[in-house]
Amino acid sequence: MALLEIDDIHTFYGNIEALKGISLTVEEGECVTLIGSNGAGKSTTLRSISGLTPPRTGDIRFSGENITRTPPSDIVKLGISQSPEGRRCFPRMTVRENLDMGAYLRRDRDAIAEDVARVYDLFPRLQERQRQKAGTMSGGEQQMLAIGRALMARPKLLLLDEPSMGIAPILVERIYETIAEINEQGTTILLVEQNANYALAVSQRAYVLETGRIALSDRSEALRANPDVQKAYLGG
């Protein structure tokens, strides 16, 4: 049984069908990526999993439990947390206050302190800026904070939505090194990314989305070698 199973979901915005029968799996311990152009349905897939935009039909199962109609806060309690597109940090709160918000459903104070220390170990820059207001930081620093805040929920499955968007290349490299480290430490990751080079380098498997449907799926290394993928997404 896979940790996450998505079976033929159709998700709508009003009358517009954004996902047209998506099915995929993520095994425990994997890093899986969804790549595709703008509007392909990548972010909508994550929003469907997290309960923010539930599918109209189809099923989503997590650890064998059907979560298709589960409220977002309960999905977080089950072990899924998301670092959203655009980072969505609380700009008037400090770095530390933002991290505390990621643990708002938890009551295990000692373990929360351990996780703050883990986030600071993964992102030393956040520790340097722990009293700084999030809105005054660079885009790359805010992305580190958004990932750190998601980790504070101690997720079994971490959803990452466009972590390279609008960030200086040198910081993108650092963030992706840390994503690989988080996965190596045992956190399962489902990654949405427009920059296919980074996404395929850090993941084990990948799905290519086109206009709400899965066009291809394979091991990441095989997709990197696929001429059609190279032409469409890798600048080949």
CATH for 222: 3.40.50.300
pLDDT tens-place string over residues 44-86:
999 999 999 999 999 999 999 999 999 999 999 999 999 988 7
Does 20 or 168 have the greater pLDDT score?
Answer: 20
> Is 121 within a domain?
no
Contact 62/79 with Cβ under 8 angstroms?
yes
> Is 163 within a domain?
yes
Q: How many domains does the chain have?
A: 1
> Is 134 within a domain?
no
> Is 93 within a domain?
no
pLDDT tens-place string over residues 171-206:
888 989 999 999 999 999 999 998 899 999 999 999
> Is 120 within a domain?
no
Task: Write down the pLDDT at residue 219.
Answer: 97
Task: Write down the pLDDT at residue 90.
Answer: 85
> Is 212 within a domain?
yes
> Is 32 within a domain?
yes
> Is 196 within a domain?
yes
Residue 70 is part of which domain span? 4-87+156-233
